[in-house]
Structure 1
Amino acid sequence: MLPDGSENEVLTSSSLNSRNIILNRPKALNSLNPSMVQKISEYIKKFEDSDLCNNIIIKSTSPRAYCAGGDVVSIAKGVKEKTPGMSAFFRDEYTLNHALATVKKPVVAIMSGVTMGGGVGISVHAPFRVASENTLLAMPETLIGFFTDVGASFYLPRLDGEIGTYLGLTGYRLKGKDAFYAGFATHYVPLERIPLLEARLNELPTKSHDSVNAAIEEFVEESDGTFDFSLAPYMNAINRCFKYDTVEEIMDALNKETEHPEWAKTTIDTLNTMSPTSLKVTLELLRRGKKMQIQECFQMESYLAAQIILGPDFYEGISELLIKKTKNPKWNPSAITDIPLQQVIERFFDLKDPEATIQFSNEQNYFEYPFRKYGLPTANDIRDFISGSDLSSSEVVFTADEIVGIFENKYNFKVGVKEKIQFILKTNTIESSNKDFKSVIWKS
C-alpha cells in the first residue's frame, strides 16, 4: 500500500504519440522513495505494452531538479531503528534501472536541473538523455558513506579513459555541456527549445529509435567549434592518476602529478573528505563492472547495498551531511590504510543477502549499451579505429582530418563529434594496452 499523497509524486500524461512520466516531489528535489520507484516501474511497463505509445518521456515538474537521488535519509533512519527490509529499496530501484535499460520503446529523459545518484539511474540507461544549461550531474555517494550505484558499475567504466573512476571517487559535478561531453547525455538542447522538442516527439508516427534521434537532433545547440568540457585540460592527468586498482596507488600518483599539481592537490583534498571504506568499495566495484554484463552489475550492487547500509559509515555520512548538516562525519576506519582491500572484499562483496536477489522484469543482458550510437563516440571507439580493429587492413594511414571526417559521416554529422575527436587526437588522450596500437598511424 502506498503512503498518502504518493500517487501525486509521479504523474503521467498522454500527448498524441508520447507518454510522459513526470516526477513531482519538488520539495525533496524529486528524490526517489519506494512508492515512486514502484510507480515509475509500472508506468514504463504500461507504456511499453501500449500500441498507442510511440515514445516515453521522463521529466520533472520542477525547474530546479530532475531527480536529486534516492531518499537515503529514510533508509538511514530505518537502518538505525533496525527496521527490516531496508535493502529492498535498492533492489527494487536497480530492477527499475534494468527495465529502463532494456525497454523496447524509445525513452527520452529530460535531465533538467539537479541530476544526481538515483536521478542518474533513471536517465543514463535510457537510449536518449537530454542535458540543458541548468543540468547539474554528479555521483556523490562516497561523500555519504555509500558507493556509486544505480548501475554505475556498468556505465562509469565505459566512459572515456578513467573519467568514470574519477567521477565515481570524487563526486565531481558536471554542469551543462559537461554531461554531454562526458557521455551521460546523448544530446544538449537549450532549455527554451525543450517544449518544442517535446511537441516534435508527440508528433512522431513511428516507434523508431532513429526517428526519435533525428527529431532530437533538430533542436540541439549549434556548434561553435569549441570542445566546451570543463575536464578537458585534465584528461591526461585523470588517465595517469586514476588508472590504478588501489586507492593508495591513486593517491600516490596524485601526489607525484607534475603537469597539473594544483588540480592534483584539490583532488587529494576532495578524496580525503570521503569515506575511506566507500572509496575502496567503489573502486573495486568499477574494476569488476568493466568485465561484467549489465544484469551482473545490478545484482552485484544490490548485494553490496544490503551490506554497506549496515556499516557505520552509511548512517554517519547521512546523519552528518543530510540530517544534522554539520558536514563533519567521523569515518570508521578513518584512513584508507586502515582497511585492507581483502577485508573490503570479504565484508562487502563476498556476502550475498537472499533478500537482495533481483527478479529482473526481462532476460535482456549485454556488455555494451545497444543504443550507444546515439551519443558521442568514445575514446575507445577512436582507439579501435586507429588500431585497425575496425579496418580490413592494418596498413592504412590516415590524417587527423580524415579520421574526423570518417567519424562525422558515421555519426551523421552529429554536433560534438568533430570537436571531441579533434581534442582526443590533438591531446592524445587515447590509452591502449594493445602493442599494435600504432599499426594505423594518423598524421596531423
Structure 2
Amino acid sequence: MALRGVMRGTLNRVPVLASRGMTSAASDEVLFEVKNRVGIITMNRPKQLNALNLNMIRQIHPKLKEWESQLDVVMIRGAGGKAFCAGGDVVSITKAGRAGDPLAGDFFRAEYRLNRLTGELAIPYVALQHGITMGGGCGMSVHGKYRVCTEKTLFAMPETAIGFLPDVGGSHFLPRLQGRLGLFLALSGYRLKGRDNLHAGISTHACDSTSLDDLVAEVAEGGVSRLQAILDSYTQKAEFDKGKPFSLEPHMETINRCFASDSVPEILSALEKDGSEFASKIHATLLKMSPTAMVITAEQLRRGASLSLADCLRMEVRLSDRFLEDHDFYEGVRAVLVDKDQSPVWKPATVAQVPADIVDRYFAPLPADRELQF
C-alpha cells in the first residue's frame, strides 16, 4: 500500500501519497499499445499521481496474461512526468473497512495477484520508475526483471507511519536488499532519490528523464534480442548523479549494526546507544511510527526472507486483513490524512506494550475463503 498526499520534510516527516481508490473509472485510466511485439502499458491518472485503483488492476491483469503468450516484452510507465505510481487511497479503504465492506480486503487480493504476475511473467517486464514510486508503485515495478530509475525517481515504503505494513510484496524484495537496508527502509519510511535506487537495488538500470521516450522507442524497434543492450547503453549514458556514491553508504555500518536484530525494542535501544546524528534522527522517526505496525513489519520481513513471492503475498493478505480489524490503521489514516493533525494515538502506545501474542494472531491462517488464491 502507499499513502495519500505528499508531505514535505526530512527523515522525521514521512511522505504520504495519493489515491488507490476502489471506485470504477473510465477505461482510459490505463492505455495499452503494441509496437513490434513490445507491449506498452501507461498508467494514465496523472492528476492522482497514477495511483492504482481496482478498475486499473482489472484492466492490467488480463492484458498481461494475454500479452504473455503473444508478445516478447512488456514495458510499463506512468503518465504526466511526476509519478510512476504513487500508491493508495487508504481513506477509502479504511472507510470500507469500518463499514464491514469486504471490498477493502478484495482490493488487496486483486492487487497482490497482479504483483505476483509482474514478478513471474514469462516475458521480460520493464518498469520505468520515473517520479514517485511508492507503495503500490513499488508493487508494480520491483518484482519485474528490469526497473529503470531517473533523476526524478522517489522511492519509499512509508506504511508504518499510518499503522500499516509495507505490503505489495515488500516482505519479499525488502529483505533481499543489501545487509539490513530493507528492514531500515521498511520501519523508517526513508526515501531514496535518483541513482540511490540503483545503488540500493530497487532499480536495475538508469536513464535521464529526457531520454525515456527514446529508450521506449529503441526497445520497441529492437525487441527482446536487444533489450539488455539497450538498457545497459542508457544506463551508461545517464548523466544524473553520475559518479555519485550511494548516499547511505556512510551510514550502512550503523544501519547493519543497529538493525541487526529482528526485535524492534532492540533496534530502538541500539539506535539510542549509537548516539550519532544519523542514528538519533532515525530513532526519533521510529518513535513516531505505529508500535504494532513496526513489530509486525519486522517479523514480516524476517519470514519473507525465506519465502517465495507468492507465499509472501499470501502472508501479506493475512496481515492486511488483521490490520483492517484493529485500531492503528484507522487511527493513522485519521491523523495523517483526514484530520491531518499528525498526532496519532497508537494503541498500544509503545513497542514495550505490544502484546506478546500479537505475532501469532496476525500471522495465523484466515478462513479458507479469505486466503489468497492465485
Relative to the length of structure 1, the TM-score reads: 0.76
The verdict on how the C-alpha distance between 1:233 and 1:241 changes in structure 2, with shifts beyond 3 A counting, is: same
Match for residue 27 of structure 1? 47
Question: For the residues of structure 2 that align with 1:97 and 1:84, how far apart are their CA atoms?
Answer: 20
The verdict on how the C-alpha distance between 1:237 and 1:79 changes in structure 2, with shifts beyond 3 A counting, is: same
Match for 1:54 among 53, 65, 72?
Answer: 72
Deviation at 1:230, TM superposition (A): 1.3
Q: Is the 8 A contact 2:176 2:305 kept in 1?
A: yes
Match for residue 402 of structure 1? none
Deviation at 1:291, TM superposition (A): 1.7
Deviation at 1:202, TM superposition (A): 0.4
Give CA deviations for 1:164-216 in whole Å, capped at 9, x if unaligned.
Answer: 000000000000011111001000111111111111100124x45xx311111
The within-5 A match list for 1:120-131 is 120-131=138-149
Match for residue 4 of structure 2? none
Deviation at 1:221, TM superposition (A): 4.2
Question: For the residues of structure 2 that align with 1:318 and 1:287, how far apart are their CA atoms?
Answer: 26
Q: Is the 8 A contact 1:88 1:355 kept in 2?
A: no
Match for residue 166 of structure 1? 184
Match for residue 107 of structure 2? 89
Match for residue 11 of structure 1? 31
Match for residue 428 of structure 1? none
Match for residue 234 of structure 1? 251
Deviation at 1:63, TM superposition (A): 0.9
Match for residue 249 of structure 1? 266
The verdict on how the C-alpha distance between 1:353 and 1:136 changes in structure 2, with shifts beyond 3 A counting, is: farther
Deviation at 1:40, TM superposition (A): 1.4
Q: Is the 8 A contact 2:141 2:147 kept in 1?
A: yes
Match for 2:332 among 312, 317, 321?
Answer: 317
Q: Is the 8 A contact 1:13 1:19 kept in 2?
A: yes
Give CA deviations for 1:319-341 in whole Å, capped at 9, x if unaligned.
Answer: 2212222222111111111103x
1:45 counterpart = 2:65: yes
The verdict on how the C-alpha distance between 1:134 and 1:47 changes in structure 2, with shifts beyond 3 A counting, is: same
Deviation at 1:17, TM superposition (A): 3.1
The within-5 A match list for 1:120-199 is 120-199=138-217
Match for residue 312 of structure 2? 297
Match for 1:345 among 359, 366, 370?
Answer: 359
Stretches of structure 2 lacking an aligned partner (at least 5 in a row): 1-21
Question: For the residues of structure 2 that align with 1:125 and 1:72, how far apart are their CA atoms?
Answer: 23
1:334 counterpart = 2:356: no
Q: What code does the residue aligned with 1:83 have?
A: D
SS in 2 for 1:104: coil
Q: Is the 8 A contact 1:170 1:267 kept in 2?
A: yes
Deviation at 1:227, TM superposition (A): 4.7
Question: For the residues of structure 2 that align with 1:133 and 1:43, how far apart are their CA atoms?
Answer: 30
The verdict on how the C-alpha distance between 1:310 and 1:142 changes in structure 2, with shifts beyond 3 A counting, is: same
Question: For the residues of structure 1 that align with 2:335 and 2:367, how far apart are their CA atoms?
Answer: 28
Q: What code does the residue aligned with 2:219 have?
A: L
Say how many residue pairs are matched: 351
SS in 1 for 2:40: strand
Give CA deviations for 1:24-53 in whole Å, capped at 9, x if unaligned.
Answer: 122221221111111111121121121xx2
Q: What code does the residue aligned with 2:268 have?
A: M
Stretches of structure 1 lacking an aligned partner (at least 5 in a row): 361-444
Match for 2:94 among 71, 76, 79?
Answer: 76
Q: CA RMSD in A?
A: 1.7
Q: Is the 8 A contact 1:78 1:86 kept in 2?
A: yes
Question: For the residues of structure 1 that align with 2:197 and 2:140, how far apart are their CA atoms?
Answer: 15
Give CA deviations for 1:126-146 in whole Å, capped at 9, x if unaligned.
Answer: 110000000000000101110
Match for residue 284 of structure 2? 269
Q: Is the 8 A contact 2:23 2:54 kept in 1?
A: no
Relative to the length of structure 2, the TM-score reads: 0.90
